[in-house]
């Protein structure tokens, strides 16, 4: 028997449907939210020894919230993950309270655990260039080498996510001066394509043995199907080991490098936000912290007084 009442299941589904249709949240986000809220409702059922209908949810207390959070921490859930779960629960409760007409103070006033936000780990400019060059040396097949280099060049040159680069199709070539990219939450953005990225893709197309068609994936696996992102992750892992780079030198690090290097060169934060497709400027602002940290590292290594301290 399900631990969640039919009324709660229906309410949860209606909320998730709204997230997809109105808020534009991706399927993966909806799936994560479903799991987070389902776990919360299941805990409350066990905590009160009865299935929680909508009326019972209105009576959730601060003590109940503390018990849930203590249970999560006791189960090994980290502070960052718990903060995400609490955010999902609060979002659901805001929607439910507005629909049912009750005051969700106990839930909304619950404080998220503190945690240190992880800063992006970009590569240095010379390391990013070396990564592209070294990736191309990992395959004995000329067309596969050109393919891998083209993908990594797009990640760094255009700030694409690996999923976005691999979603390009034959209809996107030859690459125009700007690409219309559909990112997370179906959010569209316009991304300029630098000449180096166009040249890399053109070279790949000249060597690729598989015929291109408008609806087929631009980047192909060895057998002709869509390229699996694990292939790029694997080739970058080999390259970083040869270059002596840390394990954080992943495909996503190339996107971080794109943003950080633009900011270092004087790029506008709002413009970088648009290029990355971030819904919130606060997400993009993490790169200012990276830039400041790098600046302080250079200062401490170079300043005569700092070296003597």
The CATH number given to 6-108 is 1.10.150
Active site residues: 161, 184, 252, 255, 278, 287
Q: Would you state the pLDDT for residue 1?
A: 37
Average pLDDT rounded to a whole number, residues 171-198: 86
Give the pLDDT score at 66: 94
Of residues 230, 250, 231, the one with CA closest to residue 240: 250
pLDDT of the residue at 306: 47
Average pLDDT over residues 240-262: 87
Looking at residue 184, its pLDDT comes to 75
**Is residue 243 predicted with pLDDT exceeding 60?**
yes
Of the given ranges (6-10, 151-155, 224-228, 236-240), which has the lowest mean pLDDT?
6-10
Q: In this predicted structure, what is the pLDDT of residue 78?
A: 86
285, pLDDT greater than 70: no
Q: Is the pLDDT of residue 209 over 80?
A: yes
Contact at 8 Å (CB) between 59 and 44?
Answer: no
Q: Say if residue 164's pLDDT is above 50.
A: yes
Overall fold of domain 125-301: hpI Integrase; Chain A (1.10.443)
Domain residue limits, the chain: 6-108, 125-301
Per DSSP, 28 falls in state H
Q: Is 23 a residue whose pLDDT tops 80?
A: no
Residue 131: the pLDDT is 93
Q: What is the average pLDDT across 8-15?
A: 89
Q: What number is the average pLDDT over the span 255-281?
A: 71
Least confident span in 7-16, 124-133, 205-214, 274-283: 274-283
Three-state SS for 182?
A: strand
Scanning the chain, the segments in alpha helix (DSSP H) are 6-21, 27-48, 54-57, 62-74, 79-100, 105-108, 125-135, 142-158, 162-166, 195-207, 229-243, 251-264, 269-276, 281-284, 286-302, 304-308
């Amino acid at each position: 028997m399900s631990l969640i009442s039919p009324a709660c299941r229906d309410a949860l589904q209606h909320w998730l449907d709204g997230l997809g249709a109105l808020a534009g949240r991706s399927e993966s986000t909806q799936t994560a939210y479903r799991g987070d809220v389902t776990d919360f409702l299941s805990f409350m059922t066990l905590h009160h020894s009865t299935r929680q209908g909508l009326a019972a949810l209105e009576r959730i207390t601060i003590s109940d919230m503390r018990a849930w959070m203590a249970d999560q921490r006791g189960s090994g859930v980290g502070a960052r993950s718990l903060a995400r779960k609490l955010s999902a629960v609060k979002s659901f409760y805001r929607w439910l309270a507005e629909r049912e007409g009750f005051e969700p103070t106990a839930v909304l006033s619950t404080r998220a655990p503190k945690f240190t936000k992880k800063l992006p780990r970009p590569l240095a400019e010379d390391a990013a260039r070396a990564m592209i060059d070294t990736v191309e040396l990992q395959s004995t097949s000329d067309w596969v080498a050109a393919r891998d280099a083209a993908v990594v060049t797009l990640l760094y040159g255009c700030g694409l996510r690996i999923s976005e680069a691999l979603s390009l199709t034959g209809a996107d070539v030859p690459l125009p001066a700007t690409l219309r990219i559909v990112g997370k939450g179906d959010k569209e953005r316009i991304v300029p394509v630098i000449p180096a990225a166009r040249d890399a893709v053109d070279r790949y197309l000249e060597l690729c043995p598989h015929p291109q068609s408008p609806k087929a994936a631009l980047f192909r696996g060895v057998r002709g199907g869509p390229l699996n992102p694990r292939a790029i992750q694997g080739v970058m892992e080999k390259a970083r080991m040869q270059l002596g780079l840390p394990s954080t030198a992943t495909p996503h690090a190339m996107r971080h490098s794109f943003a950080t290097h633009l900011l270092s060169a004087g790029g506008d934060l709002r413009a970088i936000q648009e290029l990355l497709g971030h819904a919130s400027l606060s997400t993009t602002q993490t790169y200012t912290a990276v830039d400041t940290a790098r600046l302080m590292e250079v200062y401490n290594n170079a300043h005569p007084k700092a070296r003597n301290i």
